[in-house]
Amino acid sequence: ARIAVLERESRTLQETLREEQRMAMIDALTGIPNRAAYDDRIEQEFRRWKRFARPVSILAWDIDRFKAINDAYGHKAGDKVLRVIGQHLARHVRDTDFVGRYGGEEFVMLLVGTSAEEARVVADKIRLEIAQLGFHFHDQPVTVTASCGITQFNDADTPDTIFDRADRALYQAKQAGRNCCVAA
């Protein structure tokens, strides 16, 4: 009887530990995976890409003029924007893909089996939908837009160089006037 009790306690502790590990990979504000989850997933996808050579694209997203939203409407409004956009991005990925909050107002997507050209079509559709989400603060409509940098895994890449290239493309999108997608 004592062994049975200890086995039940052990199973309960193991389940609790698994749940805590899962929650450690979720962004508390948006409910989508966080940077730690991205770090794990990019390593997995990179190894899989090295083995199978199927295209994988990375999309770096940033909410345009997010600081202005926080300054004008407050941090609760900014938090709402992050939640809504994070959930919107999550609805637009397949089960084999990944989306997570990279940090601040930045999000990252991995589109498995998708070239950069195909990813740009997807990104432009999502970008247009974000601009139509219809945010309202203090009963006034507020347009929120996002920019996206896109790239595809290449032979000389590491997980860091892949993200850096997507981030540079995102910077180019910002320089081009925001609310656009740039592939590199």
Residues in the chain: 184
Q: Closest Cα to residue 58, out of 171, 149, 137? A: 149
Q: Alpha-carbon dihedral of residues 159, 124, 89, 105, nearest 10 degrees? A: 70
Distance CA 31, CA 82 (A): 10
What is the three-class DSSP state of 32? coil
Question: What is the spatial distance between Cα 2 and Cα 137, in angstroms, rounded to a whole number?
Answer: 59
DSSP character at residue 96: T
In whole angstroms, what separates CA 112 from the centre of its chain? 14
105 classed as catalytic? yes
**Active-site residue, from 9, 105, 106, 129:** 105
Q: What's the CA gap between 91 and 30, in Å, rounded? A: 13
Return the sign of the alpha-carbon dihedral for residues 136, 175, 101, 127. Answer: positive
User: Look-up: residue for tokens 């997203």?
Assistant: 61
Residues identified as active-site: 105
